[in-house]
Amino acid sequence: MKNIKVLGPGCRNCEMTAKVIAHAAEEAGVEIELQKVTDITEIMGYGVMSTPGVVVDGQVVHSGGVPGPDLVRQWVGDPD
């Protein structure tokens, strides 16, 4: 199971990012653990200065803006 974190203050773009990720995982039939991180100290600990940021299995893969569906599908991966 992949651990995915959405980093941000809970803004509209952060919420949309979380929804896009959850939807992509559901479509792919992949189980993920999705967390929303709003603590600024923890966010800065990842080196993210522009939110929303996305961390997959401990690695920052995106920051600044809502990611596109194709990119999210790559993070979620295929269960095969």
Instruction: Indicate which residue of 11, 40, 44, 49 is catalytic.
Output: 11
What is each CA distance from 70 to 2, 9, 38, 49, in whole angstroms? 17, 24, 25, 23
11 is known as an active-site residue: yes
Q: Specify whether the CB–CB gap between 75 and 56 falls below 8 A.
A: yes
Instruction: Indicate which residue of 6, 14, 20, 76 is catalytic.
Output: 14
Catalytic residues: 11, 14
